[in-house]
Amino acid sequence: MANAFWCMVEDDRKGTPKKVMAEVIGEATRLAGGDVEAVWLTDTATDDGIRQLGEWGAKKVWLIEGAELAPYRAEVWVPIVAELVAAQSPKAILGPVTSRQREFMARLAARLGVGLAGDCMGLAMDGDKLVGTRPVYAGKLLAKVAWAKTPWLATLRPNVFKPADAQPGQTAAVERPSVQIPAAQLKLVERREEASTGLPELTEAEIVISGGRGMKGPENYVILEELGGIIGAAVGASRAAVDAGWRPHRFQIGQTGRTISPKLYLGFGVSGAIQHLAGMRTSKVIVAVNKDPEAPIFKIADYGIVADLFEVVPQLTQEFKRLLEK
């Protein structure tokens, strides 16, 4: 439908839309007044996944299913969605900020010849125009942007927009459009599955613990993981820790890593360089533990502890354990 706001579905690759889709669909519903449709490219759609999208508020799910769609390849996905856009003329296309959607939406914008506002922290209708608010200069400024033509493309920073309340029993119509699935240009040579830490994913977590160079070595992250296990937190790292090979890059928070916006950020041995802040400064509550009282992170922290993290972390772990066992 020409007035529809589309939401690109990000899933867990096992047939379940990620929690962040509740935020994307919730925001699309507020902006579009209910004219919201989900677009799901997958090799593993499940009835539960479709039901979930409907309960969050999608009126329709454009379902494009096929073994060729996984793993994600931009050269396969982009022409499919571009073809669907040409046939349906949606007004806007929104997606969450994830590694996949970052690339996909940028390429789709280029293919359609329209603008993309990446990493939006606010969206609002101004008359019949959409206005996005997004960080520039590593988060030092917020810029308001508008689009010259439709569809308006935007990616939404996770944990910033209010998630839709699921309405049990509310369903979405499923439409399977006939589209050309292009042949993949890239061949999958080897697939490696990262071993799960058992902790929540960085961009989805409500609590994130970050360990910096002050952790002194990879072996010490176990104390952060123990704390994370107790309070249900994801464990990330600064670039210094990633560059030192202590943590894989997927755990890096910051300008050249993940953007997070959890309810609670706990930084241990992180100095607070501008590039790190770019990825976490919108966290609701920021707690920093650092030996150096002059560390820049204290300038944006809500709570700061000037102390040795190797003393503080075990104490916090014990205290949370005690409180949560009550």
Ligand X SMILES: Cc1cc2nc3c(=O)[nH]c(=O)nc-3n(C[C@H](O)[C@H](O)[C@H](O)COP(=O)(O)OP(=O)(O)OC[C@H]3O[C@@H](n4cnc5c(N)ncnc54)[C@H](O)[C@@H]3O)c2cc1C
Residues that bind ligand X (CB under 6 A): 212-214, 238-241, 252-257, 269-271, 273, 275-276, 279, 289-292, 295, 308-310
Return the residue nearest ligand X (CB atom).
Answer: 254
The residue among 106 and 244 lying less far from ligand X, judged by its C-beta, is 244
Least Å distance, CB 225 to ligand X, is 17
The residue among 158 and 214 lying less far from ligand X, judged by its C-beta, is 214
C-alpha Rg value of the chain to the nearest Å: 21
Characterize 246-272 residue by residue with b for buried, 16 or more Cβ atoms within 10 angstroms of its Cβ, and e for exposed.
Answer: bbeeebbbbbebbbbbbebbbbbbbbb
The residue among 24 and 278 lying less far from ligand X, judged by its C-beta, is 278
Least Å distance, CB 304 to ligand X, is 11
The residue among 13 and 102 lying less far from ligand X, judged by its C-beta, is 102
The residue among 17 and 211 lying less far from ligand X, judged by its C-beta, is 211
User: Of 64, 79, 44, 82, nearest to 184 (Cα)?
Assistant: 79
Joined tokens for residue 72: 């994600």
Quick check: bond before 151 cis, omega within 30? yes
Least Å distance, CB 243 to ligand X, is 8
Q: Tokens 């867990």, residue?
A: 12
* Sign of CA pseudo-dihedral 1, 39, 121, 153: negative
Quick check: bond before 71 cis, omega within 30? yes
The residue among 151 and 212 lying less far from ligand X, judged by its C-beta, is 212
C-alpha span between 253 and 55 (Å, rounded): 32
Least Å distance, CB 305 to ligand X, is 9
Three-class DSSP category at 9: coil
